[in-house]
Structure 1
Amino acid sequence: MKIVFLAFTTTRSEGVCNDLAWVADQGDEAVLVTVRFQSWPEVDPRARVIDLADGEARHPIPRIERLILFRIPRLGFRFLAAVLRRIGRIPVLGRPARSAEGKVPAMLQRYERFGITVHRRAYLPVYRHLRPYVLWRVARKAALRQLGLDSADLVVVADTAALPLGWHIARRYPDLPVKFTLDRTLWEKQRTAEAVTAARAT
C-alpha cells in the first residue's frame, strides 16, 4: 500500500508528520511531496521525500524576477565601479573618480534594500497567486516521474497550495482516490478487507 501526501507549506506539518509516521507503522509506503524540506519539522525517516524547491527556483518566473531585480543591477554597479577605477588613473580626473568609486558600495547597499522591499511588497503578493500553478508545472516535470502514481493507493492534499497538483492528478488518474485528509479507520478497514481477499485467494 502506498499513500502520497502533497504539502507545499508547513501549515499542517504536525498533522502530516503524524500521518506519515502512522502509515510507516502500518508497514505501508509513505511519500511526502513538499517545497523547502529543510523548513519542515522532523519527518519520519521511513517516509520518502520529494522536494520541489530546486525546480521552483529554476522556473522562469522566479528566475526572471531575480535577474531583473538583483543580478542585472549588481552587474551594473560592478561595471560602474570598474569604469571609475580606470578613470581614477587619469591624473586630471583621478581624485573625483576615486571619490565616486568609494561611494559605489554604499549605493549598491541602498539598492539592495530597495530590491528586497520591492520583492516583498510587489512581487511576493502576486507570486503567491501564481505559485500553486508554478509548482504544478514543476511537479509535472520532475515529481510525477518519481512518485510512481500507478502504484499509489491514495493521494492526500494537505494544503491549498497543493490543490492544482491534486486536481491534475485526479484528472490524470481517475481511479486513484484524492482526498483532503487521511481517514485512518477507513484505511485500516480497506487494508483488512484486502488482506482477507488475498488470504481467500490463496
Structure 2
Amino acid sequence: MTMVGDGDVHGAQPPKVLVLAMDPRLAMDPAPAVPAKRQHKRVIGLAGHFAEEGARVDVVTAEPDGWAGLDERVRLHRLDRAEARHPLPWLEHTFVIRAPRVAVRPVARAGRLGARLERARSRGSRAVHRRLFVPFYRHVRPHVLARIARRRVLREIDTGGLVRVIVMDRTSVPLGRRLARLHPDLVVTTRQERSLDAKP
C-alpha cells in the first residue's frame, strides 16, 4: 500500500485537503436528479487527483456505500454508524418501530385478527416515519452530522497544513461554514477545481 510521506528531509509537510461529502446524492449542482453513482465518482476522482499530487486527503461522509474506487492513499471517515447511534434516529426507531412491534408481537400470530393488527402496526410505523420523521430529520441532519464530525473526525485531522476544504453537497454546508468561521484563512469552497492554488 502506497502511503503519503511524512515530509521531506527539510521537514516540509505535504498540503492537506479535506473533502466533505456527507450525502453525495444531494449535490451542490442546480441540475436535478444527478445519479448518486456519478456523484460518488466526482468525489473519488477529485480526492484521487489531490492524492496523486502529493496532498494528504481526507474524505468525510455519512454514506456507507460507493467508495470501492477510492484511492487507497485517501483516508475515508464514515459517520453512518455514529449517526445511527445519535439520539434522534435512535429514539425514532425505538418508539416508532421497535416498541410498537414488541407490543403487537404477542398477538401478531394469533390468526387473522393478529395478522391484521400486525399489518396496521406496520403501516402506521411507515407512515409516521415517512410523513413526520423524514421531513423533520432532512432539515436537522446536516447539523447533526456537522456536530458528529466535529467531535469524532476533526480531532483526528490536524488542521495545521490544511489548505483547502471542498464542500461537495448541501448536507456538508454547515460543517464547511463552521470550519470557515474557525479558520478565516482557510479556503472553504464548493468549487471543484483540481488545483491547490485555485481561489474559492
Scaled by the length of structure 1, the TM-score of the pair is: 0.75
Match of 1:143 among 120, 145, 153: 153
In 1, Cα distance between equivalents of 2:104 and 2:129: 19
Q: Secondary structure at the match of 1:144?
A: coil
Tell me the equivalent position of 1:76: 103
Cross-structure match for 1:93 = none
Query: Is 1:178 matched with 2:188?
Result: yes
Does 2:55 align with 1:28? yes
With over 3 angstroms needed to count, the CA separation of the structure-2 counterparts of 1:67 and 1:178, relative to structure 1, is same
Residue aligning to 1:85: none
Deviation, 1:110, is 3.5
Q: How far did 1:109 drift?
A: 3.9
1:3 to 13, 17, 33: 17
User: Which segments of 5 or more consecutive residues in structure 2 lack a partner in the other structure?
Assistant: 1-14, 26-38
| Other structure's SS at 2:51 match | helix
Matched, 1:129 2:139: yes
Shift of 1:40: 4.4
User: Equivalents in 1 of 2:138, 2:66: separation in Å?
Assistant: 18
Deviation at 1:131, TM superposition (A): 0.7
AA in 2 matched with 1:179: T
Matching residue within 162, 165, 170 for 2:175: 165
Question: What percent identity do the matched residue pairs reach?
Answer: 33
Q: Is the 8 A contact 1:13 1:41 kept in 2?
A: no
- CA distances 1:80-112 after superposition (whole Å, capped 9, x unpaired): 449xxxxxxxxxxxxxxxxx8334355224412
1:129-180, Cα deviation, whole Å (9 max, x unpaired) = 1111111111121111122223322111111110100111111222222111
How far 1:122 sits from its partner (Å)? 2.2
CA deviations 1:12-37 (Å, max 9, x no partner) are 32222111111111121111000123
When Rg is computed on C-alpha atoms for both structures, the one with the higher figure is 1
Contact 1:2-1:29 at 8 Å conserved across structures: yes
Report if the CA contact (8 A) 1:24-1:46 is conserved: yes
Q: What residue ranges of structure 1 are gaps of 5+ in the alignment?
A: 83-99, 191-202
Question: Are the counterparts in 2 of residues 7 and 34 from structure 1 also a CA contact under 8 Å?
Answer: yes
Contact 1:33/1:52 (8 A) holds in 2? yes
The letter for the 2-side match of 1:17 is: I
Q: 1:110 to 1:44 in 2, by over 3 A?
A: farther
Residue 77 of structure 1, CA deviation: 1.6
- Aligned residue for 2:77, secondary structure, equals strand
Q: CA RMSD in A?
A: 2.4
Q: Distance in 2 between matches of 1:81 and 1:162?
A: 45
Higher helix proportion: 1
SS in 1 for 2:154: helix
**170 and 51 in structure 1: CA distance in 2 versus 1, 3 angstrom threshold:** same
**Moved >6 Å (runs of 4+):** none
CA distance in 2: counterparts of 1:22 and 1:110, whole angstroms = 52
Aligned residue pairs total 171
TM-score, reference length from structure 2? 0.76
